[in-house]
Amino acid sequence: MKQWMSLLGLIIWFGLMPNIVAAQAVGGYAAGCQFEAQALPQQGPGFYVLRASRERFYGQASLIEYLQHLGNQLDQAQFPSMLVADIAKQRGGPFAYGHRSHQSGLDADIWLRTPPHTIDRHQLETLSAIDMVDHARYTLSPHFKDQQRLLIALAAQNPKVSRIFVHPLIKQAMCKAYGDAPWLSRLRPWFGHSKHFHVRLHCPKDDIDCEPQAPVALGTGCGSELASWINDKGGTLSSTGKRKPYRPTLPKQCQAWVKQ
Ligand SMILES: [Zn+2]
């Protein structure tokens, strides 16, 4: 009887676990918030944080570990460090300006340009992005080289990744370079991603209030779907025009939390 009681206790305890575990991504990527976020250090092996004064360098542990792991991979391959731009605010929720997503600590922007050989805090605040696409000729610019390809490939190979948004021409270049690699499915063509790419991780397993996005389609996505994006030079497939401030309705747990 005693054994049964302790077993029952254990089951109840595990049942309560999701409420006890404080670190959580809550809601959707574009209408959510985060609890117990971690800060990505301002720099580490293979990475630097840009515009740290904006304090958008907070993410869920899963994302912070992912970025540090990616930095380590670059460092070990003796490739240039990556420049990490916006992640999320400490409590998540919508930014006052800028993108719609990045709300639940599972999205991060990584610039495609590499940093100068020596870089200080001031430069990290003021550095400009470099466009990998020559928009007038609608081709990749000469800035898009092997190191950009390698960075995107390493970023996409990690199974934690739900999807990575890249400009259609960049997806095309990755398809050309990596043929039928299964992780190519995670590279999603989207306009507005020619200076940086945007990594989105899956909801962490225990985050019961995290709303996953529909899985990406099977296959590499290098065929007809990509062709429709390449042909859509005007960008009607995604709206990239000026947006009004985005104020979504947040999940209940987030409403007071984000305002505080
Ligand atoms: Zn982004």
Please say whether the beta carbons of 24 and 207 come within 8 A: yes
| C-alpha distances out from residue 199 to 20, 150, 251, Å | 28, 15, 23
- pLDDT tens digits along 197-221: 999 999 999 999 999 999 988 899 9
Domain count, the chain: 1
Q: Is residue 16 part of a domain?
A: no
CA of 192 relative to ligand 1 center, distance in Å = 9
Q: What is the pLDDT of residue 259?
A: 84
CA of 187 relative to ligand 1 center, distance in Å = 14
CA of 16 relative to ligand 1 center, distance in Å = 34
12-20: Cβ within 8 A, 24+ apart:
17/206, 18/206, 18/207, 18/208
Q: Is residue 67 part of a domain?
A: yes
- pLDDT tens digits along 105-122: 999 999 999 999 899 999
CA of 99 relative to ligand 1 center, distance in Å = 6
Q: Is residue 143 part of a domain?
A: yes
**172 by DSSP, 3-state: which?**
helix
Q: Is residue 14 part of a domain?
A: no
Q: Is residue 114 part of a domain?
A: yes
Torsion of CA 149, 150, 155, 158, to 10 degrees: 120
User: What residues sit around ligand 1, an ion, with C-beta below 5 angstroms?
Assistant: 99, 109, 198
CA of 250 relative to ligand 1 center, distance in Å = 19
Q: Is residue 72 part of a domain?
A: yes
Q: At 70, which CATH number? A: 3.30.1380.10
Residue 165 lies in domain: 24-233+244-259
Q: Is residue 199 part of a domain?
A: yes
The residue whose two tokens read 């676990």 is 17
Q: Is residue 239 part of a domain?
A: no
CA of 67 relative to ligand 1 center, distance in Å = 14
- pLDDT tens digits along 7-54: 555 555 544 444 444 679 999 999 999 999 999 999 999 999 999 999
How does residue 248 score in pLDDT terms, banded at 50, 70 and 90? Answer: confident
